[in-house]
Amino acid sequence: MNINFPIEVTVKKRYSVRNYKDQAIESDKQKAIESFIDSLENPFGPHVAFHTLDLKSGPTAQKLGTYGVIKGASHYIGTTITLEPMALEALGYEFEALVLYLADLGLGTCWLGGTFDRQSFSNAMKIEAGEIFPIITPYGYAADHKHFKEKAMRKLIKADQRKEWNQLFFSDDFQSPLSEATAGDLAFALEMVRLGPSASNKQPWRIILNDSGCHFYEYKEPGYSKAFAYDIQRVDMGIAAAHFDFSMKEKNIDGHFVTSAQPEIDLPKNVEYVFSWIRA
């Protein structure tokens, strides 16, 4: 997988597009997207399968349910996994890589985890029985104007706001907020994590920096994942891993992810260890 786009520019360029132009995507871009999907990989191990759907190549009357959230889209990408340890994080990592790649190509996307009709999309994408189908995105050229429901949704979830550093990043324990100065050469990667997208903009990532590395925790929003057979916020943790990893590679700082380096510290309520990044 070749991440050859500028991380900060692309992270800031990406936003959730819910209203699309009736404009064809050029064939060379489609081929580049297919090639990038084929190259996707993740540092956690589980396999993530991608499924594409072009509504204009099939029956034009075909309607798929996004509950009025998405307007005008004719291209979709979905993902499936086998539910195993770190599979949701692997999905988040790879899918965010693709979303950023599409943003770099000038195409809009919108993560959909709860606002799409899984059955209709499963049928259209020929998803096999037993596969977990957590996420899809439309993709295409953004319309010139946002529709009313799009504006209302962005306002509801405060889509353009992010938590401050002292709410997300800590030094040694959860009682000591981490400053950008103390973070040193990790500050850029942490800021890119802070700017990442998440389901309903919940921003569940919490990170502790200590002498052994960066340790990623999930703040489990009470009741948020009860509608799913899995913890959908683990996908958000994969997004955080992607932003962190791509940023570190851009800065030529070597390291790797592990899932067995949990520090021995007291955890706040509803906070759970997920993985760590260890400097090489």
8/39 Cα distance (integer angstroms): 22
Average pLDDT per consecutive 10 residues, the chain (280 residues; last block may be shorter): 95 94 94 97 98 72 66 94 97 98 97 88 90 95 77 65 95 96 97 96 96 96 88 97 98 97 96 97
Asked if 148 and 97 touch (Cβ cutoff 8 Å), the reply is no
Q: What is the pLDDT, as a whole number, of residue 150?
A: 63
Asked if 118 and 106 touch (Cβ cutoff 8 Å), the reply is no
Residues linked to residue 137 through DSSP beta bridges, in sequence order = 77
2/114 Cα distance (integer angstroms): 30
Report in angstroms the alpha-carbon separations of 52 from 108, 191, 249.
15, 32, 29
Q: What is the pLDDT, as a whole number, of residue 234?
A: 97
Its pTM stands at 0.93
Asked if 206 and 198 touch (Cβ cutoff 8 Å), the reply is no
- DSSP class of residue 174 equals T
Q: What is the pLDDT, as a whole number, of residue 156?
A: 65
Q: What is the pLDDT, as a whole number, of residue 61?
A: 37
Report in angstroms the alpha-carbon separations of 7 from 96, 157, 227, 243.
12, 24, 33, 8
Q: What is the pLDDT, as a whole number, of residue 60?
A: 40
Least Cα distance to 15 among 137, 114, 117 occurs for: 137
Alpha helices, DSSP H only, in the chain? 7-13, 27-39, 87-104, 118-125, 148-156, 165-168, 180-183, 187-194, 233-250
Q: What is the pLDDT, as a whole number, of residue 67?
A: 63
108/69 Cα distance (integer angstroms): 14
